[in-house]
Structure 1
Amino acid sequence: MVQKKQYVTIKGTKQGLIFLLDDRCSYESLVEELIEKLSSKHYQQSEGPDVLVKVDIGYRFLQEHEQAELERVITEGRNLAVEQFESRVLSKQESERLRQEAETVTLMRIVRSGQVLRVNGDVLLIGDVNPGGTLIAKGNIYVMGALRGIAHAGYEGNEKAVISASLLAPSQLRIADHIKQFEQEEKIEQMMASAFLNENKSFEIGRVQQLVQSHPELAKNETHLLV
């Protein structure tokens, strides 16, 4: 006798339940087995608070009405509450967001006093950031010129972001939520320098070559190198 394939796996955790739904079977077969498994007395309405359920749908894409149906099947007549659906399928919006964050935007200009430039990803500025000017990036900041104003890298919390400049003489550096202010008497002026957060979340400033050891992940697309 051939054993029937299991499309629904239910696992218990400290936080509640995880429903693992096979992403290779038909949607109809999935719903049928889900109804069958949840018909057990174990999952019927009982006293006490709702048990939180995470539904892992793998690489399956669900239409809104299908997700609503699955949630109804799981919760109707039961003290189960769907906390979230987890999917490995990226929406077009999410895919575009990740693409933008991974790319390096190249700008050729001077960021003048009072100007604020914000980039969704890494930024390579061929030009200067003047005193009073601000350059902000979700990723890393590279300035092929003088950085004399404010640079804020990793502005959405990326503490691994770095700031590099041909001439590093900033009034303020920010990485994620960490700020280093440079008062007039402690102004630095270094050629080919970089700044990043060390293990103690303190700013470390030195020659750009140190990034080879501290941030090897900055190397990208080395497979395109012609040797």
Structure 2
Amino acid sequence: MSQGKSLVTIKGTKDGLTFLLDDRCSFEQLEHELKEKLSSNYYKSEKDDPHVYVKVNVGNRYITDSDREKLEQLITSESHLRIDQYESAVVTLKEAKAMEEQAQTVTMVRMIRSGQVVTIKGNVLLIGDVNPGGLLVATGNIYVMGALKGKVHAGSEGNEQAMICAAVMTPTHLQIASTWRNFADQTLEETQMRAAFLNKVENEIVIEKVQGLLDVEFLREKEAVS
């Protein structure tokens, strides 16, 4: 093997191993060095050895399905290693389009009437009402510049940071990610300019004045830093 810079760096972590693959050499060179390193008896396994999970970081290299199959074969063949995930700094066109959809804010001027279901990718600004029996779903935040009297589901693909804001907040049902709160059997006063968010500590949806979102965002930023 060349005495120059190593093309494959293997690091141990509390969760298993991380394989750092050089992104400036050819894939064939990577295969050659990876095969040499994994030929060590250290990576050979006996029948009853537990699996060791591997995170493969390919940096700025685009990995095709064929490349993944080759890496899978090299890493897992005759060893107790199992690939847990791939990390790549490269964003495919499909992924970029999905990210753009999630970040967009769709503006609608309409009423959502009883029996109607409207589903949006990203955030949605509704200039109108959600009537009882109507349902508005978005993968991001939901802003209703009118009366929210029906059902809404924000963060529908699992975004627990999503919020629901309404000029008049009297819903029958609110849902953020997988957590929901039913108001069908409750009598709510017409509260103006309210926001709903997920309190992860209590695992419940909380409704506050819109001004209270400043405190929520401050706490979230603090949690992200820590």
Asked if Structure 1 and Structure 2 have the same fold, meaning a TM-score greater than 0.5 normalized by the shorter chain, the answer is yes
Give 1:123-202 correspondences, 5 Å limit. Answer: 123-183=124-184, 186-198=187-199, 199-202=201-204
Moved more, 93-102 or 168-177: 168-177
In 2, the alpha carbon distance for the partners of 1:72 and 1:34 equals 11
The 3 A distance-change label for structure 1 pair 79 and 152 is closer
* Deviation, structure 1 residue 45: 5.3
Give 1:107-122 correspondences, 5 Å limit. Answer: 107-122=108-123
In 1, the alpha carbon distance for the partners of 2:126 and 2:17 equals 49
Larger radius of gyration: 1
The 3 A distance-change label for structure 1 pair 82 and 170 is closer
Alpha carbons 1:170, 1:188 under 8 Å: kept: no
Give the match for residue 207 of structure 2: 205
In 2, the alpha carbon distance for the partners of 1:28 and 1:85 equals 18
Amino acid at match of 2:35: I
Give the match for residue 35 of structure 1: 35
Structure 1, unaligned runs of 5 or more:
219-227
Alpha carbons 2:180, 2:204 under 8 Å: kept: no
* Deviation, structure 1 residue 53: 3.1
Moved more, 27-36 or 132-141: 27-36
The 3 A distance-change label for structure 1 pair 70 and 179 is closer
In 2, the alpha carbon distance for the partners of 1:59 and 1:133 equals 46
The 3 A distance-change label for structure 1 pair 151 and 21 is same
The 3 A distance-change label for structure 1 pair 67 and 180 is closer
* Deviation, structure 1 residue 176: 2.1
**2:171 counterpart SS class:** coil
* Equivalences, count: 217
**1:186 counterpart SS class:** coil
In 2, the alpha carbon distance for the partners of 1:178 and 1:65 equals 39
Give the TM-score of the pair, scaled to structure 1: 0.82
Amino acid at match of 2:209: R
Give the TM-score of the pair, scaled to structure 2: 0.83
In 1, the alpha carbon distance for the partners of 2:101 and 2:117 equals 19
* Deviation, structure 1 residue 114: 0.5
Q: Please, what is the CA RMSD of the aligned residues? A: 2.6
In 2, the alpha carbon distance for the partners of 1:174 and 1:167 equals 17
- The percentage of counterpart residues that share the same residue type is 48
In 1, the alpha carbon distance for the partners of 2:219 and 2:129 equals 26
* Deviation, structure 1 residue 79: 4.3
In 1, the alpha carbon distance for the partners of 2:79 and 2:206 equals 56
Give the match for residue 223 of structure 2: none
